[in-house]
Amino acid sequence: MTGRDGLPRGLRLAALLVAGTLLVSACTTPILANDPLVFPPPPTPSAEPSRFPDPLPISLPRDDGPHGRLTEWWYYTGHLRTPTGRRFGFEAVVFRAERGSVPTAWAAHLALTDEQGGAFHYAQRSEIGPEVDHSPVDASGEPTGFDLQVRGLSPTIIAAGAPPLATSPWRLAGANGTDHIDAALAPEEAAASGAAFGLQLDLQATKPPAFHDGDGFVDFGPAGSSYYYSRTRLTATGALDLDGQHMTVDGIAWFDHQWGNFMSIGGGGWDWFAINLDDGVDLTFSIVRDASLQPILRYGTRVDAVGAVANLDASAFEIDAGGPWTSPTSGQTYALGWSVDARPALGLLLQVTPDLDNQELDARATSGVAYWEGSSRVTGSALGSSTPLGGQAYVEITRYGN
């Protein structure tokens, strides 16, 4: 089985939690590092049968919950609007890393793009140990969903003397596509980020989950393997708080869940696109690059308006990036603004434009890297139609820097 689909998200945590550093919430000592990787002896194997290398079908809601694997994450991006038309993009994610006998490590990122205000805000937390995992289980001990609650503050705040656990948790919870996000910055975090913000969202999937590469099992060869599925369109309703303003919001969100026994794959980073078109079609495109930034893998997935999934190979599309933007924080340069030519397979020509240039998360304090993850708008056309296309997107770029 090829590793065409899911590889960029498989690369993500290798970069975030292995090639970088994840800090213990109570101190600033890295628990994971590269150059070289040295792990303690593995713990005693559990009674749970291994799903690797022999793939088993994904079963939900069991596989919504955590797994005892090297790498895992639950990842939301989305677009919100208020009754008055004010628009926001958001990201909420929890990463999990398990390395030998080292206690389970967690990192969480929370970001908000204020489109009309022209501002981007983000915060990060890290924590170690089992206290994060409150996921429900059935009588046999099988997960029936996930409930992750990260309390640890940013190591930057902890280093300044703030209590590491004296705060409300950032909570991501759900099962079978009925999910909830409840996350708000503590005062110390708000001071560091330059804004006080928080989300309280109820999310409901409107399509079946999309299992990447057909059955959701992705084989990376010598680098390992993973399971990967997405819920590409969820309704989002709830509230958003920003600097004392409490706003009712609704909108849409995208959810990724991936886990597996994989670590480091490739070396040059990737561009990842999650596109929700106004006609109900959802698209994901990725370009993975080697250490010299040459493309070594391109893949895509299309989910139609009723949830039917089609995998796209490298011949299905081309993506050209726009002009450079250099981060004043990390010094990394990103190419922003993209033309997506999917006419060969889909008859689509799309333009993806960031809502703001500066949507970089400098997450070196929790995950060792800075990366660009930004709310974007989509325009375009379809062959044979005179009606313009529109939509919304999230784009992730991880390359161009150390």
Judge contact between 111 and 91, C-beta under 8 A: yes
Judge contact between 192 and 167, C-beta under 8 A: no
Domain boundary assignment for the chain = 7-29+66-398
Please state which architecture CATH assigns to domain 7-29+66-398: Beta Barrel (2.40)
Q: Mean pLDDT throughout 232-245?
A: 98
Burial of 68 (0-12, 13-18, 19+ CB in 10 A): middle
Q: What is the pLDDT of residues 112-148, one digit of tens each?
A: 999 999 999 999 999 999 999 999 999 999 999 999 9
Task: Give the H or E element holding residue 396.
Answer: strand 389-398
Strand positions, DSSP E, 30-168: 71-81, 87-99, 102-114, 119-128, 146-150
24-28, 264-268, 291-295, range with greatest mean pLDDT: 291-295
What mean pLDDT is reported for the chain? 84
Categorize the per-residue pLDDT at 400 as very low, low, confident or very high, splitting at 50, 70 and 90.
low
Task: Give the H or E element holding residue 397.
Answer: strand 389-398
pLDDT at 178 over 50: yes
> In the prediction, which pLDDT does 296 show?
72
Higher pLDDT, residue 70 or 54 = 70
Write out the DSSP string of 194-221: TS-EEEEEEEEESS--EETTTTSEEE-G
Burial of 82 (0-12, 13-18, 19+ CB in 10 A): middle
Q: Mean pLDDT throughout 242-257?
A: 97
3-state SS class at 182: strand
Judge contact between 347 and 317, C-beta under 8 A: no
**Phi/psi of residue 157, each to 5°?**
-70, -40
> In the prediction, which pLDDT does 55 show?
64
Q: What is the pLDDT of residues 190-232, one digit of tens each?
A: 998 999 999 999 999 999 999 987 788 876 655 567 898 999 9
> In the prediction, which pLDDT does 8 show?
42
> In the prediction, which pLDDT does 220 show?
61
In 3D, which of 350, 320, 349, 316 has the Cα closest to residue 336? 320
In 3D, which of 147, 175, 183 has the Cα closest to residue 231? 175
Q: Is the dihedral of CA 152, 199, 271, 288 positive or negative?
A: positive
pLDDT at 104 over 70: yes
The set of residues, in sequence order, having a beta carbon less than 8 Å from that of 46 and lying 6+ positions away, is 68
In 3D, which of 359, 368, 365 has the Cα closest to residue 397? 359
Strand positions, DSSP E, 165-322: 170-175, 178-184, 197-205, 210-211, 217-219, 224-242, 245-262, 269-277, 282-289, 295-303, 309-312, 318-321
pLDDT at 99 over 60: yes
pLDDT at 346 over 80: yes
Higher pLDDT, residue 99 or 109 = 109
Judge contact between 358 and 375, C-beta under 8 A: no
Q: Mean pLDDT throughout 263-278?
A: 79
The set of residues, in sequence order, having a beta carbon less than 8 Å from that of 383 and lying 6+ positions away, is 343, 347, 348, 349
Does 61 sit behind a cis peptide bond, omega within 30 degrees of 0 on the bond before it? Answer: yes
Q: What is the pLDDT of residues 18-60, one digit of tens each?
A: 333 333 333 333 323 333 333 334 444 444 434 444 567 899 9
Beta bridge partners of 254: 77
> In the prediction, which pLDDT does 71 show?
87
